[in-house]
Structures are given as C-alpha cells and as structure tokens.
Amino acid sequence: MKNKVILYIVAAVLMLAVGSLACILTSRVFNSVNSSRSSQPTLEIAAPAPTQALTQQPEILPTEQPDIQPTNTEAVSEPTQTISLDLGPCEEEVCIREGAFVLLRPLGENGRVTVDPSYRYGEFRKNSRYPNLGVEFLNSTGTPVVAAAQGTVLVAGNDSQTAYERRTNQYGNLIILEHSLAGFDQPVYTLYAHLSDILVERGDTVSAGQEIGRVGSSGNVSGSVLHFEVRVGENSYSAVRNPELWLATWQDDNGQTLGALAGRIIDRQGTVINIPNIVAELLDPAGESVVERTYLRTYGGESLLGQAPWGESFGLGDLTPGTYKLSFLLNGYQQRLVEIQPGKLTLLTIIP
C-alpha cells in the first residue's frame, strides 16, 4: 500500500515537470515566430479615396443657350389681315377697279370651270317665270365640287322639306357654306346644288378648295350640272349676287388673264332701265372688225337689280381684255365703247 502511494506521488511530479517543460517550449516558439514576423517588411495599403459616383460622368462642355423670351400664358390671337376693297358703284361713266374676285372656282381637278353662257345669272329659261339666281357649270356626274372659300357648313342635305329658293324640290342635294371674307363686314354664303354626293355634314369647317361633294343631276334639272350661287348678308334667295363678279379671274388658252364687266343703264333719276337685249362685241386692235360677240340682258326681276357692292343691272366675267362696243335699243340705237383690262373689273354707268 505504501509503495502505491509513492508511485502516485512520483507520477504526479513527473506530469508537473512535463507540463512546465511544454509551456517553456511553446513560449519560446511563439516568441521566435513573432520575432521572425517583425523582421519582415510590411506593405502599407493606402485607403481608397472616396468617389463621387459609381461611374465617372463625362465632362459636359458649356453650350450657348438660346435667348428664351418670357411667354404670355394667355391666348394670343393672330393679327387679322385687313383688306381694303374698292367697293361701291361707279359715279362716273367708266371706272376700272380691282374687283372682289375672292372666291375659288367651285370645281376640282379636271372640272369645267367656265360658266354656261346659255343660262347666265338673271336670265330666264324658256317658259320659266323666274330668273336664274346663280350660274351653271356643265360637268359630268361625279366631278369633284370644292369649297369656294374657307367656311362652315350651314346646310348639307336636300330641299324636299325646306325651300332654299322659291319652292321645294328644285335644288335636290345641296350644300350651303357660310364665309367670313376679309374686306366684307357681312357674311357671304355660297350654294352648291344638284349634287350626286354630299361629303360634309352640317357644322363642319371646310378649307378653300376642299372637296365637299360631287356633281350630279338631283332636283329639277335636265342634265348633269353644278348650280352655284353667291348670297350676301343673309342666307336667302333674295340676297343673291352675280357669281361671275366674285369668282377668281381665269386665264385663256394663251395664258392671258381675263377681265369682267359690271354695268347699269339708268335714267336721270337713277332708276334702272330694263334692257332685254344688249350686245357686247370685242373689237380688233384697229377697232374695225368684231373678234368676239356676247349677248346679254339686264337682270330679270327687280330684286336682282342695283344690289351692293356694284349696283349693277348686268354683268359678265371671263372677258378677253380689249375694247368692247356695247349696243342696245332705247329711244333709238345706243352704243358705248368700254375697255376691259386683265384681272380688273370695269364698271360702266350709262345714262341715255
């Protein structure tokens, strides 16, 4: 028993000695390693500089800025063009005016744009009680009809229920436009009748030259034709004017611009005299022979006579420029010489 105790004591002493030796060796190794590490050069890494953004933005060069003026937020209306027209009748025997040729010819491309000379404004058809309130353009069915000026569609339909002249069922399919024309203080209306097709509706705004319908033969008419009227001040057949004095001037086959004539034959009290037959003859430059001859008359119906702006009782458009001899019978043979100029309106007042 005594021997076992001695052995345990010896073992414990040996274990303590071994532990102490291990600690000493470990300390020396650790110090040696630290000494080795401290002798190595160290690499100093600079901290990265802070960046402004994740990506570098390209340099923006200064550019010259436009001079922007302050704008007015209120609606600014475009200035309206003021046109001064030389309107009114001629107080002398002859006046040459610029005219008021403010309306386009109402036919589209390839349409016949000359007025039918056999049935002019204010003339009567055979067995007709009433004079023509407009002019006729003879064209094939389907020929495009265009607006004579910018305006608003007032009527787009037919006259089966509403009369747009003296009676219903005369114009067939028709369109009436209302215009506000520069130089005129009253509205102007244009009427397009006997149409085969209507391409606009009431209330539509149309531009000058826009196709609005097509030529036809609807209503009281014997063939394919466009009936065209101009009305001033009100949409009434009593307010019609001669379209030949309003339509844009035309050129003949030689490129010469044509002119127009508006005349009146009155007594010394200013009353218009009805002349059923007037002959207008274009003379050659020598004034000896007749080149062209046109027959006309004073407008039929008192409501057509002496209307503003020209106060005329007869009128013609598309006249070849030159000297004309007008002749008629009134207390004997009467004649006057008058000059027609290109693109101009000649006003003539005859007091026999």
What's the CATH number where 111 sits? 2.70.70.10
Q: Is the pLDDT of residue 169 over 50?
A: yes
65 in a structural domain: no
Mean pLDDT of 254-266: 96
Residue-level pLDDT at 90: 83
Alpha helices, H only, 240-349: none
Q: Do 201 and 336 lie in a common domain?
A: no
- Among 247, 271, 294, identify where a domain stops: 247
38 in a structural domain: no
Q: Do 133 and 225 lie in a common domain?
A: yes
Q: Do 326 and 238 lie in a common domain?
A: no
> Whole-number mean pLDDT of the chain?
83
Q: Do 110 and 95 lie in a common domain?
A: no
262, 231, 248, 315: which is closest to 107 by C-alpha?
A: 248
Alpha helices, H only, 39-176: none
Q: Is the pLDDT of residue 204 over 60?
A: yes
Residue-level pLDDT at 22: 46
Structural domain total, the chain: 2
64 in a structural domain: no
Q: Give the pLDDT confidence of 229-250 residue by residue, as tens digits.
A: 999 999 999 999 999 999 999 9
| 135-169: burial string, b at 16+ Cβ within 10 Å, e else | bbbbbeeebbbbbbbebbbbbbebbeeeebbeeee
Domain of 265, in residue numbers: 87-99+250-352
User: What CATH number should be reported for the domain holding residue 282?
Assistant: 2.60.40.10
81 in a structural domain: no
Q: Is the pLDDT of residue 98 over 60?
A: yes
14 in a structural domain: no
Q: Do 307 and 182 lie in a common domain?
A: no
Q: Do 95 and 217 lie in a common domain?
A: no
Q: Do 107 and 124 lie in a common domain?
A: yes
Contacts of 205 (CB under 8 A, 6+ apart): 150, 151, 152, 153
Residue-level pLDDT at 218: 98
254, 183, 194: which is closest to 225 by C-alpha?
A: 194
Q: Do 153 and 178 lie in a common domain?
A: yes
327 in a structural domain: yes
Q: Do 192 and 95 lie in a common domain?
A: no
- Cα–Cα distance for residue pair 273/350, rounded to 1 Å: 10
Q: Do 325 and 338 lie in a common domain?
A: yes
Residue-level pLDDT at 15: 57
Q: Do 220 and 261 lie in a common domain?
A: no
194 in a structural domain: yes
- Cα–Cα distance for residue pair 327/254, rounded to 1 Å: 28
- Pick the most confident of 33-37, 243-247, 266-270: 243-247
- Among 198, 216, 247, identify where a domain stops: 247
Q: Give the pLDDT confidence of 57-81 residue by residue, as tens digits.
A: 334 334 344 443 333 333 333 334 4
255 in a structural domain: yes
Residue 13 DSSP class: H
Q: Do 93 and 107 lie in a common domain?
A: no
- Among 207, 222, 247, identify where a domain stops: 247
